[in-house]
Amino acid sequence: MTTQNPAWRQPLPEFRDPPPAKEHAVTCVECGSPMRLRYSDQYARHFYGCSRYPVCEGIHGAHPDGAPLGVPGDKETRQARREAHAAFDDLWRSGDVGVNRGQAYALMNRELGFQHIGELTKEQCEQVCEWVRDCYRFLDQPPREEIDDDH
């Protein structure tokens, strides 16, 4: 007769200590309280969480060294940034525009004056989404030379 090892006797998964990071002064845009650098085991990365959590659920991303990612934004702004990033990333990843990520950012900077989506307001994110839609509309049109040949 073989005995099965119950689940509670299995070794626990190995957890690693989070990489070292330096906390920066970040203010929660939801309530104005200081934010604290925290580490998510689930996502294996640092982030800033409101010091008033769970009363306030303000959150902001961080680089591996603890530097804040962009500028903190409220819930609506963070959602707008996610949408702008998704639209922007789809544009350059699709290959339809024939540019890589760095070139796409340079183009967005030239056209809109924006360098990092993580620093944008909700309204500026909407401009990025509209600009991406314009790029696709332009790509659906025939090249300029074909239009000129017909006239």
- Give the whole-number percent of the chain exceeding pLDDT 90: 64
pLDDT band, residue 15 (cuts 50/70/90)? low
Please report whether residue 12 resides in a domain: no
pLDDT at 147: 36
Using one digit for the tens of pLDDT, what is the confidence trace for 92-141?
998 878 889 999 999 999 999 999 999 999 999 999 999 999 988 887 75
Phi–psi pair at 110, nearest 5 degrees: -65, -45
Do residues 92 and 143 both lie within one domain?
yes
Average pLDDT over residues 78-100: 91
pLDDT at 78: 92
- Mapped onto helix, strand or coil, the DSSP state of residue 40 is strand
pLDDT at 4: 52
Burial label, 69 (beta-carbon count in 10 A; 0-12, 13-18, 19+): middle
**Range of 101's domain?**
73-151
Do residues 124 and 80 both lie within one domain?
yes
Number of domains in the chain: 2
